[in-house]
Amino acid sequence: MGAGWRIGRVAGIELAVHPSWLVIAFLLTYTLAVALFPDVTPGLSAGQYWLLGAGTAVLFFASVLAHEFAHAILARRLGLKVSGITLFIFGGATSIEADSRRPRDEALIALAGPITSLVLGAVLLGIGILVPQREARTLLSWLGFINVVLGVFNLIPGYPMDGGRVLRAILWRLRGDQLTATRQAAIVGRVVGYLMVGGGVYWALTSRSIGSGLWLALVGWFLATAAESSQQQAGIESSLSGVRVRDAMDPSPADVSPNETVASLVSDRMLRGDDRSFLVRHEDGGLAGVVTLSDVRRLPREQWDGARVTDIMTRFGDLATIGPDAPLVDALRLIQEREVGQLPVIGDEMRHPMGVVTLRGIMRLIDARRKLGV
């Protein structure tokens, strides 16, 4: 989904909003303000309906965050690193930087979200029954109902939804191989997604709920696409099974001095060779950071002569690095997670890189192994 707009951190977990979230936020507020509340609580002003709609939408997305935080907190308790939570058009997504170590952990993390939504929904429905005020009762009842729907919907066995992840955990336990389980769960996810597309189109054509039918079809298409992507990713990871970072890294990557001017970096290196990223080394060979073409492009051209590499580079403390004996699959995941093109490979001697592993190099290796059938 991409990083989105960072909006803060809660319990050490970074929160972000994807631009697509604005679409569903507006549609939900509009539907509540124009359709639901005027129908069940007549007599209020248009401004009051919009205020109720906006407030209910905010509380709904707070409950989506609660769903995702349940995943994140349990993942951290089981020793996994959680990089963040992103709200987007179809709800939320929790970014966990590594797969679960055991099928049981996978199932528990996946179930944490739906269980949280179901419990929250039941509590809100119960409170809604007891509240005498009509507007508050409507708000709480709607929130309770939608949380129950959210919990049940996420239990559908369509990978990569929560129910699909539970299915993967079961298949992992039965088959004994995580990648095989992922591929099989993804196939089920694609089938479920296409069934939702078909059901949504049929609903739209045979009922007055055209919008609901089209929305179900859109969600199904998203699920089928995500499942297909997961299936392809599992195939890539399978082709890299047993390969270590040292087997794919470039042991002699291009490097520059932190004191070199940006103008010299561009004219003497970027325009005269194939390299677009460079390790930045101190005189003793220690790694100061990494500088890339993107870093240069962010600096106005008229400042190139006066600026040094150290002024624009990504510093060592902010870099994602990896060890030479780590599985190459881990490097690929980290590159994708951090949205970078390369990772410095750091051995036992801290800050003295042994080389660089790049996305381009990994993809070339995958292509070669597939063509050679190894």
Tens digits of residue pLDDT in 192-219: 999 999 999 999 888 877 877 888 898 8
- Lowest pLDDT segment from 97-101, 159-163, 167-171: 97-101
The answer to whether the Cα torsion of 160, 30, 56, 118 is positive or negative is negative
Q: Is the preceding omega at residue 258 within 30 degrees of 0, hence cis?
A: no
Partners of 250 in the β-ladder: 356
The answer to whether the Cα torsion of 243, 245, 246, 250 is positive or negative is positive
Q: Is 68 a catalytic residue?
A: yes
296, 289 contact by CB (below 8 A): no
- The residue type at 221: W
Partners of 188 in the β-ladder: none
- The H-or-E segment that residue 236 falls in is helix 210-239
What is the mean pLDDT of the segment spanning 177-196?
Answer: 91
181, 106 contact by CB (below 8 A): no
Q: How far apart are CA 55 and CA 235, in angstroms?
A: 44
Instruction: Indicate whether 11 pLDDT > 80.
Output: no
- Lowest pLDDT segment from 141-145, 294-298, 347-351: 347-351
Q: How far apart are CA 335 and CA 248, in angstroms?
A: 14
Q: What is the DSSP string of 20-39?
A: THHHHHHHHHHHIIIIIHHH
Q: Write down the pLDDT at residue 1.
A: 46
30, 76 contact by CB (below 8 A): no
CATH 3.40.50.720 corresponds to the domain 245-372 = no
Instruction: Indicate whether 257 pLDDT > 50.
Output: yes
- What is the phi/psi pair of residue 22, to 5°? -60, -30
Q: How far apart are CA 259 and CA 310, in angstroms?
A: 6
Q: How far apart are CA 292 and CA 286, in angstroms?
A: 18
Q: Which pairing describes strands 255-256 and 314-315: parallel, antiparallel, or unpaired?
A: unpaired
Q: Write down the pLDDT at residue 350.
A: 67
Q: Among 68, 97, 135, 260, which one carries the catalytic annotation?
A: 68
Q: How far apart are CA 168 and CA 143, in angstroms?
A: 30
Query: Exposed, middle or buried by CB within 10 Å (0-12, 13-18, 19+), for 374?
Result: exposed
In a 13 Å sphere around the CA of 267, the CA atoms on its Cβ side amount to: 8
65-90 pLDDT, tens per residue?
999 999 999 999 988 888 788 888 77
Q: Across the chain, what does the average pLDDT equal?
A: 88
Share of the chain above pLDDT 90, in %: 40
pTM recorded for the entire structure: 0.74
15-33 pLDDT, tens per residue?
888 888 888 888 889 888 8
Residue 80 tokens, joined = 């996994």
